[in-house]
Amino acid sequence: MYARRRHRYFALMGLCVTLFVLAWAVVRLWSVPVAVGMCVVAMVIPPLAAMVANRRGPDDRWWDEPSGDPQSDEWWDELDGKKKPQ
């Protein structure tokens, strides 16, 4: 799941950079308003890419869910302050 999210993030960020570079290297020669519009679209992509990269998938462990491994769960409970160390 993590690799898929990472690939989507880099694809979106690559699209963002491509739009920005094409807007001011190529498109502005024909139409400045279209180049500005492309930059506005490119400006919206990074927050969306961050949301895609940080979205929790159905198989991902949430911070307060037990993992099923008793030793790991005990360690996390100790780190979270739910259980005092022995």
pLDDT tens digits, 11-25: 999 999 999 999 999
User: Residue 4 pLDDT > 90, yes or no?
Assistant: no
Mean pLDDT of 31-40: 96
Kindly tell me if the per-residue pLDDT of 45 is higher than 80.
yes
Task: Tell me the H-state helices in 29-68.
Answer: 32-54
Rg (CA), the chain: 21
Domain spans in the chain, listed from the N-terminal domain onward:
2-80
Contacts of 76 (CB under 8 A, 6+ apart): 67
- The pLDDT, as a whole number, for residue 28 is 93
- pLDDT of amino acid 36: 96
Residue 10 confidence class, pLDDT cut points 50, 70, 90: very high
